[in-house]
Amino acid sequence: MRLLIVGTLGGQLAVASRIVMERGATVTHADSIDVAMKSLRSGRGADLVMIDVGLDIADLIRRLETEMIHLPVVACGVASDARAAVAAIRAGAKEYIPLPPDPDLIAAVLAAVAEDGRELVVRDEAMARVVRLADQVAVSDASIMITGESGTGKEVLARHVHRKSHRSGKPFIAVNCAAIPEALLESELFGHEKGAFTGAVARRIGKFEEADGGTLLLDEISEMDLRLQAKLLRAIQERIIDRVGGTRPVPVDIRILATSNRNMAEEVRKGTFREDLLYRLNVVNLKIPPLRDRPADVQALAEHFLDRYAKANGVKNRPLDPEARRELTRARWPGNVRELENCMHRAVLLAIGDTIGVEAIRTPDGQRLDEAHGEGRPPLSRDPAVRHAAETAEAVTRALVGRTVADVERELILETLGSTLGNRTHAANILGISIRTLRNKLKEYGDDGHPIPPPGGGVEAA
């Protein structure tokens, strides 16, 4: 994590600086807001700004917004200066840290504001396979596409890849392509020269240059405009960029990671994503399974979040009772890890007693989790065979949630074809489609790189 400290506060911020460096952060100092802005424009970058509450925080935040620099700001001041603390929060600061600095408080703020405390927690074999592949390819410079539903932990895995790479000592820069307006994303990525457009009051180094020597994560890249995709393709191929309004190319040395919650092959077919760019980015694909397909991870992550939020809220860390564990595993978690994290935070606050029971595990609207996913479902039979069949059917249905119709259809067709040992006619009869439709589907799947069972058994690419 990169921290920019603005001001002096008679040496108190220097103490805070030492604390965050001991926690693994890199620190840059600026005596004034002007110097801080020059540092940010120059490409030195920061993940968090910590500023003396006596400085003009409203002016800093206004200048950051004007120059489209997106950073959280934390104010610091002597503990008795309550009026200044309130003014700082009203001006737009995310948090206020009283000084002299408390190491645990600073660590908590850094984790909460900069989201630097996210860890890769893996117990389920389905996710472990993905992590093993990530570890295998991390040492290379190959571009990686990380796909999966929203909230599955794509950025967490990307940071893991960076930590395992030979670039780990260099910057890891993440850009959310869906969160930045289309008109501003080009400048955010490639930077701009003074006067390139209204509001470009000085030269600004973009994320490509800021990540030089390290890793650039293009989060939700499927949201990027086609015109900008062309410029990105050139930057990846040539390892040079052009600042907006610039007159000469700038060389860069970075590794590209990209994420998406969409089916990228489908985006290419729809014409919303360039096929040649996908080939450049998708040298290796890491597909993260949804949380509902990782039951062992549900338990491990739940315990991890309970421990984190018990510490953050100053309460005793209590274990989950057996019923609560069962309900967590049965839940579908459409919001995946992000939803589970929020749910465990609520449970820490709502639980009463020595354990966390199912009554404390609630949905965002306050409904108990066991009641929410049990609505409209008849009670399970006491007959073990019937109960097992019902639970199996429910698990199969749950596995389909969040997948596209095209994905499910492809899997059904290929599984049916495999069961007929490649006999197209029998498979078409079972599926209730014409042999021509089946052949067209198989050609489409083969063109996308899926293995197709040939007539007579075996596997080959169609």
Q: Which two tokens mark 147? A: 């796909």
Q: Which two tokens mark 218? A: 């293009």
Q: Which two tokens mark 243? A: 């600042």
Q: What is the pLDDT of residues 411-455, one digit of tens each?
A: 889 888 877 878 888 888 888 888 888 888 898 888 888 888 877
Q: What is the pLDDT of residues 343-362, one digit of tens each?
A: 999 999 999 989 999 999 99
Place of tokens 């890491």: 286
- How far apart, in whole angstroms, are the C-alpha atoms of residue 122 and residue 412? 29
Q: Are the C-beta atoms of 81 and 52 separated by less than 8 Å? A: no
Once rounded to an integer, what is the mean pLDDT over residues 181-205?
Answer: 85
- The DSSP output letter for 289 is P
Q: Are the C-beta atoms of 201 and 67 separated by less than 8 Å? A: yes
Q: Which residues of 369-386 are buried (b: 16+ CB within 10 A; e: fewer)?
A: bbebbeeeeeeeeeeeee
- Among the listed ranges 179-183, 189-193, 217-221, 241-245, which one has the minimum average pLDDT value? 179-183
Amino acid at 258: A
The better pLDDT of the pair 341, 391 is held by 341
Q: Taking the model in full, what pTM does it have?
A: 0.68
pLDDT > 90: percent of the chain: 47
Residues 6+ apart with CB under 8 A from 325: 299, 302
Q: Which two tokens mark 438? A: 């089946």
Q: What is the pLDDT of residues 51-91, one digit of tens each?
A: 988 899 999 999 988 877 878 899 888 766 778 888 888 88
Q: Give the HSE-up count for residue 313: Cα atoms under 13 Å, Cβ half-sphere.
A: 18
- The DSSP output letter for 367 is -
Q: Which two tokens mark 57? A: 């925080």
By DSSP bridging, strand 95-99 and strand 215-219 are unpaired
Residue 378: predicted pLDDT: 44
Provide the pLDDT confidence category of residue 459 given band limits of 50, 70 and 90.
very low
Place of tokens 């209730």: 432
- Other beta carbons within 10 angstroms of residue 412's beta carbon come to 12
Q: Are the C-beta atoms of 43 and 210 separated by less than 8 Å? A: yes
- Among the listed ranges 164-173, 218-227, 358-367, 369-378, which one has the minimum average pLDDT value? 369-378
Residue 393: predicted pLDDT: 53
Domains present along the chain, CATH in parentheses: 2-114 (3.40.50.2300), 131-287 (3.40.50.300), 292-372 (1.10.8.60), 404-461 (1.10.10.60)
Q: In what order do the strands lie in the sheet with 284-287?
A: 172-176, 215-219, 255-260, 144-147, 284-287
Q: Quick one: how far is CA 103 from the chain centroid?
A: 27
Q: What is the pLDDT of residues 301-349, one digit of tens each?
A: 999 999 988 987 888 999 999 999 999 999 999 999 999 999 999 999 9
Kindly list the distances between the CA atom of residue 103 and the CA atoms of 23, 306, 366, in Å, as whole numbers in the listed order: 9, 22, 35
Once rounded to an integer, what is the mean pLDDT over residues 147-151?
Answer: 94
Amino acid at 27: V
- How far apart, in whole angstroms, are the C-alpha atoms of residue 282 and residue 258? 8
Q: Are the C-beta atoms of 215 and 263 separated by less than 8 Å? A: no
Provide the pLDDT confidence category of residue 394 given band limits of 50, 70 and 90.
low
